[in-house]
Structure 1
Amino acid sequence: MEIKPISIEQQEQLSKIATSQDWTPCQVTLSSGVTLDNVYLANHDEYLRSWGRINKEMLVPIEEVISIEESPNALPVSLSKKLYDAGESGMGYCVFKIVYDTGATFDVVTGNAVDFVPSPEGLTIRNIVDVLPHEGSRQAYLNGLDYKWCLFKGL
C-alpha cells in the first residue's frame, strides 16, 4: 500500500482545523461526492509512532480527498485534550462523561481515539461544556462514533 503526499491545497485546509494530537479529526469530501464526517487525518510516520500498525479497511486514500473541513462530531479541542491528557481508562479504552449545557450527561466508551462522540437528539457538540475522564458507566453508555483514517506523506 503506497501512501501519497498531501497536496498544498489539502495542507491549507487541514491547517485551519485545530487539534490536540498528531492526528486531526475532520470531515472530508471525496472525489466520488461522498462526505465522511468522522475521519482522522495524520502524517503516516506520526500515525505509525502512535498506533503501530495500519488497518487497511479503515483507510481513506488522501488522493481521493477533495475537501477537508471541521467535523460536526468532533469534541472541542480543549475537551479532547483533557481526555487525551487523562490517558486511557483501561487497556485500550476510554470511559468518560459528557456534560451538556442543558445539564444532561451521557456516558461514552471509546477506544484510545476519543474525538468523535455521539450527540443525543436535539444536542450537538456545540452544547458540550465539559468532559469528565474515567467517569461514567461501563454498563449503560453510548459508543464513540465509528471513524476512518486518512494517512499522508509530507507536512
Structure 2
Amino acid sequence: MTDSTTSVADLLTAMVPMVRTLNLEYLETAADRAVLRLPDQPAYHNHVGGPHAGAMFTLAESASGAVVLAAFGEHLRRAVPLPVTAEIHYRKLARGPVTATATLGRPAAEVLAELEAGGRPEFPVAVAIQREDGAVTGEMTVVWTLRPND
C-alpha cells in the first residue's frame, strides 16, 4: 500500500460505516484509479451463494468515492464531492471475493478548471466488478459533482 492508499483508506474507513461493515479492503488508490476488494463473507451472501447485490453496489460506489477522494481530496476546502447518480448492471454470477476497479472519467485538471470558472462540474466514474478469475460480474457508472463551498 502507498501512503496515498493508506490515507484514503483510513479516511473512508473512518467516515463511511458501510466500509467497515462490509470489511472492504483498499488495494490501490490513485488520482485516476482505485481498486477495492470485498472478501467472501457468508453473512453478505444472496440466495445463490454469492455476494448480495447491495454489497456489490456498496463496493463499487465505495471504489468510485476512493478515486474521487484521491483526485480531489486536497480541494475539500473549496468543494465537497457528492454522487449525483449511480447506475449498475449485473453481468454474471459473482462468487467468492470480488474486486471493484474505478476509473475517473474526465481529467482532474479539466474538472478543477470548471470549478475555478465558477461551475459545478459533473464527471463520471466507471467501475468494473470482477471475480478472482477475471470475469466481469458487474459494471457501474457513478456521476459525481464537486459542489462549491460558498
TM over 0.5: no
- TM-score normalised by structure 2 residue count: 0.29
